[in-house]
Structure 1
């Protein structure tokens, strides 16, 4: 392409080389310098060609030296960019802050060189998980990074599968949020045996939209796995049950209702069909509020307040009619399991503190705390809006490993003797992935499990733990995030899908002013 330059960043030189190969052009030249805090400046000219290794040896040596070796970043553009269409390819990496500064300086250098248009190609957008305020004094870091890119002089941004699509509103320039779903769907059709019988599963409630989109594209069934804090038969649950005894004879009153406004005890007896809100307990002892019209029982039947009163009044005909009308067999597709330290355990399992210095027994809930939380389950107003906790999602992964906290994990959907495709946008920590895989295999009796995501971040020993999990058969990610050759070599389950053609076509269409809508379509084989 004429009047076009593609500059590689230090985070993904291999991916940039493949993009340029698909475009039929050579990468542009730039000198990236790292000035050490002490001593002479350490410089290295980063050029991408077939003779160069995937990552410069000098840069590899500096990376192994650890933090503190790097100092200030300096960029020198070695090609004329005047009136050119410039694309800078830079993704997230383990040295995320260094790569961000490098990208900002390269954009500023191209802007100072009178480039016609500057496009930042970021397959994995850094800090995308910090796209909302998660604490009372937290920062929306993703918006701050978008502002920094705008100040540096970027005119366009191309990325893949943002963690939250609303992040496109953070930018003052156009954003092309490409999807890896067509590539993933094509890989599934070509590499998963009997894929037409598979089930697409979300490992949390927040990923259902992504899962249903892929399930609709492949015309497959879908399911969901949810994890919640377990509430057993403790004193607070007994208090709630005792409070509900004789509930049909007493109306539900707010705690702030004055005594003079409380009706007599026999006022509801004269009106047995009054449809006041009702509070019941589920199988875990957790109170639930029902509007009095209808409710679902533990065995999957629905019963109304009239049927409930008819049952106490000795009317079996009415009860039989309700049972026949509201029978729901799909309730059997809900499977529960116990999760202790991130792994599925048997129903009769009880952790023993023997051989451990810490007390691993499940502690009782604080009655006062539980009583306050179960007061008709009316959540207190939250400072950030809504009623959910303002904690980070990564904290949930840490709680799964806490031996003092037992969780209940629920599988919604029928996966028996089927292949399960667990889908999410990224793989960072292994806890929720391993828990979901063990649930569908040990509780749902699934035949095979594929863990599929767009961005393979693999923090810490995530890849090693998922490789060691017997319930996971394959780990499928794209090359949007750089994965070291050493990790890939020791992980037989890892499969990497190439994004270079998708990004190259996006660059070509942006340069010629063509529509990128075809990149979102599923092309039949």
Structure 2
């Protein structure tokens, strides 16, 4: 027996270990020591007994060896015969194992090797099996665990879409750049402003070191290319030869600015030899971000180059030849105007070109050719007795640039047919390019449908011109902007606004206190453009034609023809007087007996000079009504201004008799005979030929004509 078994036997521990555990807890320390001594004594006695038993076993073993195989056979027979009688009882090993564990724990507590503790077992709740059809012997118990219910997830509604605030620059947003005033003497950072030799300027606020500030660009080309945009923190020139370095993105980069064919070139070079270039300070640094680990980072090129620091701005201002923005921009504009003036000369005689003039407006043809320094090419225009038009080109036009000047006139159909035949004749004579110069485009009033079964005659004229063989059209102040979409060939629509604005500034007293007025809503865009050019206010006159029965009840249907036609009317068709094709008598617009007109002025004209502006003036009824309304609201003077002075019928006589109209100003795009001009002493005709001549010269030389949209060519 082992020591532990002898000890347990000495202590009298039996199978009921729960009672012994309770007794052990209630006993004191002395009893535990006494029992331990007894256990040791019992252990010694057992040891002596085991030695005596071992001697006896040796003697028996020797006897068995002497008996030999016979004793072994007898022993085996005895075991076989009494096996069933001597078979041990079945042992519950799990219960025995639990008892052994309890006995060991009890012994260790008695020896003081383990603190005395009471093991508490809590009952586990059980529930019967769901399958109750099984037999009792197969019945098993299942542990019942508490059920945990998952909380219902509350759905959070998505917030409404909110547009992200734009991060565009101040220049794109139209905000002016902030003005900075820097007192360098108050900056006590010991920076060197003179970068001669090996001196350096370290901009500590942005960690950029400038090694060379460079020099101001003094080339013959446009110096404005080397200036920063108006949205920059400082408006400054970019110095050529600028050198700096900056440590960013875990690497050191060097920066410099060099002269390029179309402006400065900004270069950023890494220590590894990678070179990034761009036309602005931000472009190369953007490429650096894409090539580094910092993809998607937004950076400021002027900040990285150091141009956002006041110290850098001060150094640039101290460079030789520095001028402020106002001085440089004014000098460059004067240079451009001088260049345009010198270029406004005769056409190059080495280049092959021919200029023809129709019979509609010979006066403007003579003015244009005189400014170009060429003579009108020979052409024979005639009519047969049956009024058919005949055209014969008198010079060779093979492989030449041909310009045909023909405007609208009182004989609009004859003028248009003559133009078409001239174009077709030059096309058949192998002209290289044919350009039609049409100051007043015919049938421009019919640029949209006024009735359901009406025709868009302006679109028809555009198609006929394209079929006749014309390659390019130059016109002025089209009646509607959508007319440019009628053509499938290039169309240059020039404007008389620069000429009109110049005349107002030179001939109208107190024009700064003036107001530009539109007599209808359709001309609001044209009016605001002239008002912005002159930097004065504008006003609008709204004509409201209402009927007495319009609001009588819901039975008044808008599907009636007269109501739809009123909606489709041209905004300024109140002056469109018509003539019967058979009788030749004038036809006036039929007005309903219950129709009333209400004229509303939007704007302040009190004690101001008013300019009623429109693209054309045919009849003068609406202009005179607008003039009376303006004078009734306190206007000081009223000027009627239009590009195309058609002035049909007795319009000039009516304007002459109207005391509220001070002047009427038109251009010479439409022919007015001398006897008609004599009817009105208030008539002023502006010469528009310089703009048309310059457009021909620039088109022939392959130059841009956008300059003519805002400037007036100077006289030769």
TM interval, short-chain normalised: 0.5 to 0.7
Q: Given that residues 520 and 572 in structure 2 are in contact (C-alpha distance below 8 angstroms), is that contact kept between their aligned partners in structure 1?
A: no
Matches of 2:522 and 2:496, distance apart in 1? 18
Structure 1 residue 467 corresponds to structure 2 residue 645: no
Q: Given that residues 217 and 522 in structure 1 are in contact (C-alpha distance below 8 angstroms), is that contact kept between their aligned partners in structure 2?
A: no
Q: Which secondary structure state, in structure 1, belongs to the residue aligned with residue 648 of structure 2?
A: coil
Q: Which secondary structure state, in structure 2, belongs to the residue aligned with residue 421 of structure 1?
A: strand
Picking from 480, 490, 510, the partner of 1:164 is 480
Alignment-derived partner of residue 409 in structure 2? 93
Deviation at 1:407, TM superposition (A): 1.1
Q: How does 1:7-406 map onto structure 2 within 5 Å?
A: 7-37=356-386, 71-230=387-546, 365-366=548-549, 370-372=552-554, 389-392=567-570, 396-397=574-575, 398=588, 405-406=595-596
Matches of 1:451 and 1:159, distance apart in 2? 22
Matches of 1:217 and 1:456, distance apart in 2? 22
RMSD across aligned C-alpha pairs, in angstroms? 2.5
Deviation at 1:19, TM superposition (A): 0.2
Deviation at 1:158, TM superposition (A): 0.2
Q: Given that residues 518 and 613 in structure 2 are in contact (C-alpha distance below 8 angstroms), is that contact kept between their aligned partners in structure 1?
A: yes
Alignment-derived partner of residue 618 in structure 2? 428
Q: Given that residues 421 and 452 in structure 1 are in contact (C-alpha distance below 8 angstroms), is that contact kept between their aligned partners in structure 2?
A: yes
Unaligned runs of 5+ in 1: 38-70, 232-364
Deviation at 1:393, TM superposition (A): 5.1
Q: Which secondary structure state, in structure 1, belongs to the residue aligned with residue 416 of structure 2?
A: helix
Higher relative contact order (CA 8 A, sep 6+): 1
Q: Which secondary structure state, in structure 2, belongs to the residue aligned with residue 157 of structure 1?
A: strand
Q: Which secondary structure state, in structure 2, belongs to the residue aligned with residue 31 of structure 1?
A: strand
Larger Rg: 2
Q: 1:427 to 1:164 in 2, by over 3 A?
A: same
Matches of 2:384 and 2:530, distance apart in 1? 46
Deviation at 1:475, TM superposition (A): 0.3
Deviation at 1:399, TM superposition (A): 5.5
Deviation at 1:370, TM superposition (A): 3.9
Structure 1 residue 438 corresponds to structure 2 residue 616: no
Matches of 2:394 and 2:651, distance apart in 1? 39
Q: Given that residues 355 and 377 in structure 2 are in contact (C-alpha distance below 8 angstroms), is that contact kept between their aligned partners in structure 1?
A: yes
Deviation at 1:176, TM superposition (A): 0.2
Q: 1:523 to 1:219 in 2, by over 3 A?
A: farther
Q: 1:522 to 1:505 in 2, by over 3 A?
A: closer
Q: 1:383 to 1:203 in 2, by over 3 A?
A: closer
- C-alpha distance after superposition, 1:364-403 (max 9, x if no partner): x347x7424879xxx669999x996223556534559878
Q: Given that residues 400 and 431 in structure 1 are in contact (C-alpha distance below 8 angstroms), is that contact kept between their aligned partners in structure 2?
A: no
Q: Given that residues 156 and 173 in structure 1 are in contact (C-alpha distance below 8 angstroms), is that contact kept between their aligned partners in structure 2?
A: yes
- C-alpha distance after superposition, 1:69-95 (max 9, x if no partner): xx1000000011101100000000000
Deviation at 1:204, TM superposition (A): 0.5
Q: Which secondary structure state, in structure 1, belongs to the residue aligned with residue 677 of structure 2?
A: helix
User: TM-score, normalised on structure 1?
Assistant: 0.64
Matches of 1:522 and 1:374, distance apart in 2? 53
User: TM-score, normalised on structure 2?
Assistant: 0.47
Q: Given that residues 82 and 114 in structure 1 are in contact (C-alpha distance below 8 angstroms), is that contact kept between their aligned partners in structure 2?
A: yes
Alignment-derived partner of residue 513 in structure 1? 702
Deviation at 1:467, TM superposition (A): 1.5
Matches of 1:371 and 1:383, distance apart in 2? 17
- C-alpha distance after superposition, 1:286-336 (max 9, x if no partner): xxxxxxxxxxxxxxxxxxxxxxxxxxxxxxxxxxxxxxxxxxxxxxxxxxx
Deviation at 1:230, TM superposition (A): 4.9
User: How many corresponding residue pairs?
Assistant: 353
Q: Which secondary structure state, in structure 2, belongs to the residue aligned with residue 389 of structure 1?
A: helix
Q: Given that residues 119 and 155 in structure 1 are in contact (C-alpha distance below 8 angstroms), is that contact kept between their aligned partners in structure 2?
A: yes
Q: Given that residues 449 and 471 in structure 1 are in contact (C-alpha distance below 8 angstroms), is that contact kept between their aligned partners in structure 2?
A: yes
Matches of 2:409 and 2:428, distance apart in 1? 26
Matches of 2:374 and 2:465, distance apart in 1? 26
Q: 1:480 to 1:143 in 2, by over 3 A?
A: same
Matches of 2:423 and 2:688, distance apart in 1? 23
Q: Given that residues 667 and 687 in structure 2 are in contact (C-alpha distance below 8 angstroms), is that contact kept between their aligned partners in structure 1?
A: yes
Deviation at 1:425, TM superposition (A): 0.3
Alignment-derived partner of residue 488 in structure 1? 677
Q: Which secondary structure state, in structure 1, belongs to the residue aligned with residue 455 of structure 2?
A: coil
Matches of 1:15 and 1:139, distance apart in 2? 31
Alignment-derived partner of residue 501 in structure 1? 690
Unaligned runs of 5+ in 2: 1-346, 576-587
Deviation at 1:227, TM superposition (A): 1.0
Matches of 2:562 and 2:608, distance apart in 1? 44
Deviation at 1:205, TM superposition (A): 0.8
Matches of 1:81 and 1:110, distance apart in 2? 7
Q: Which secondary structure state, in structure 1, belongs to the residue aligned with residue 492 of structure 2?
A: strand
- C-alpha distance after superposition, 1:174-220 (max 9, x if no partner): 00000000000000000110110000000001100000000001100
Q: 1:394 to 1:401 in 2, by over 3 A?
A: farther
Matches of 1:462 and 1:208, distance apart in 2? 24
